[in-house]
Amino acid sequence: MTTLGARPAGAKDEADTAWAVRRMFDAIAPRYDLLNHVLSANVDRLWRRRTARRFGAVLARPDAAVLDICCGTGDMTMALLKRRPRGGRPVLAADFAREMLSRAARKFGGREAGEAGAVALEADALHLPLRAESLDLIVTAFGFRNLANYEAGLREFHRVLKPGGQLGILDFAEPGGLVGKAYAVYFRRVLPAIGRMVCGKDGPYSYLPVSVGSFPPPNEMLALMRGVGYEDCAWQPYTFGIAGLYTGARPLVV
Ligand SMILES: C[S@@+](CC[C@H](N)C(=O)[O-])C[C@H]1O[C@@H](n2cnc3c(N)ncnc32)[C@H](O)[C@@H]1O
């Protein structure tokens, strides 16, 4: 069976993929936030807020151990922090692209004293430097699709989640029907063209539609999650299914 995972143009294996993805995001880092919000007309902010709301109960617990993996410039982490109580345990925000992570760290530094904070950690999602069964919640926004091996990523998240711990994966999808057809024109032609003007031909906005097209559709992704051992797996479409949130939990008892 072929391994499901990202393969940017020219990448032959998982190591190549990790290198190409890291290089691409390091290069786009200075323009990432602006482009993201402009190209999505700020809807990306709503999606992250909605994702944080879905995990409101666990985020409200001061002692909850929370990881935002593939945190990039930290916008998902900031949405999670809005739901953390004052003095709560800091959220771990991890990414392997240093230029993205340093921007996230600057955002976290701007928080007021006493507000729940975040700690930036340089780490690869497929090899987390974290103890087994140590986290209550893992969230990832628009990062999972870039992993070189989706099953290995799900396994690594499962390893570090406590029994009963929850996982949320927010990512793009390909909507069907008329909306899907109209959106495909924007997503496959307009968006990469604007992205190329700003970031050059090898930037993430050429790669984005390709990576979404080869990402497993919801039924396959849910089967993959169940196969790794998650329970209560579900997909909640956002905005006509342009994006969506996968949720699952590590079972309390195996
Ligand atoms: C599209 S950005 C998303 C950033 C942020 N989560 C957001 O919502 O804007 C994807 C991020 O995933 C990171 N990433 C991709 N593969 C990774 C891996 N294997 N380990 C850690 N970070 C990874 C990239 O470096 C990049 O910063």
pLDDT tens track for 127-138: 999 999 999 999
Q: Is residue 238 part of a domain?
A: yes
12-65 residue pLDDT tens: 888 899 999 999 999 989 988 888 887 788 899 999 999 999 999 999 999 999
Q: Is residue 218 part of a domain?
A: yes
Q: Is residue 98 part of a domain?
A: yes
- CATH number for 172: 3.40.50.150
Nearest residue to 30 (alpha-carbon basis) of 190, 198, 194: 198
165-194 residue pLDDT tens: 999 999 999 888 888 888 888 778 887 787
Q: Separation of 30 CA from ligand 1 center, angstroms?
A: 14
Q: Separation of 143 CA from ligand 1 center, angstroms?
A: 4
Structure token digits, residue 28: 């786009």
Q: Is residue 7 part of a domain?
A: no
Q: Is residue 8 part of a domain?
A: no
Which residues are registered as beta bridge partners of 66? 137
As a whole number of Å, the end-to-end CA separation of the chain is: 26
Ligand 1 nearest-atom number relative to CA 100: 27
How confident is residue 201, by pLDDT bands cut at 50, 70 and 90? low
What are the backbone dihedrals phi and psi of residue 117, each rounded to the nearest 5 degrees, phi first? -115, -175
User: Are residues 157 and 130 in contact, defined by beta-carbon separation less than 8 angstroms?
Assistant: no
How confident is residue 99, by pLDDT bands cut at 50, 70 and 90? very high
* Cβ-based neighbour number of residue 142 at 10 Å: 22
Which residue CA neighbors atom 4 of ligand 1 most closely? Answer: 72
User: Are residues 25 and 205 in contact, defined by beta-carbon separation less than 8 angstroms?
Assistant: no
The amino acid at residue 148 is A
Residue 59 domain boundaries: 14-249
Provide the b/e sequence for 95-130 (b: ≥16 CB within 10 Å): bbbebbbebbbebbeeeeeeebbbebbebbbbebeb
For the chain, the domain total comes to 1
pLDDT exceeds cutoff 60 at 1: no
Question: Which three-class secondary structure string do you get for 163-226?
Answer: EEEEEEEEEECCCCHHHHHHHHHHHHHHHHHHHHHHHCCCCHHHHHHHHHHCCCCHHHHHHHHH
Q: Is residue 77 part of a domain?
A: yes
- Maximum distance among all alpha carbons in the chain? 52
Q: Is residue 4 part of a domain?
A: no
* Cβ-based neighbour number of residue 36 at 10 Å: 19
Q: Would you say the C-alpha torsion 237, 243, 244, 246 has a positive or negative sign?
A: positive
How confident is residue 254, by pLDDT bands cut at 50, 70 and 90? low
Which residues, judged by CB distance below 6 Å to any ligand atom, belong to the binding site of ligand 1?
A: 18, 21-22, 25, 70-72, 75-76, 95-97, 100, 124-126, 141-143, 146-147
Determine the distance from the C-alpha atom of residue 222 to the mean position of all C-alpha atoms in its chain, rounded to a whole number: 16
Supply the Cα-derived Rg of the chain in whole angstroms. 17
Mean pLDDT of 134-153: 97
Q: Is residue 162 part of a domain?
A: yes
Ligand 1 nearest-atom number relative to CA 148: 19
Write down the mean pLDDT value for the chain: 91
Ligand 1 nearest-atom number relative to CA 153: 19
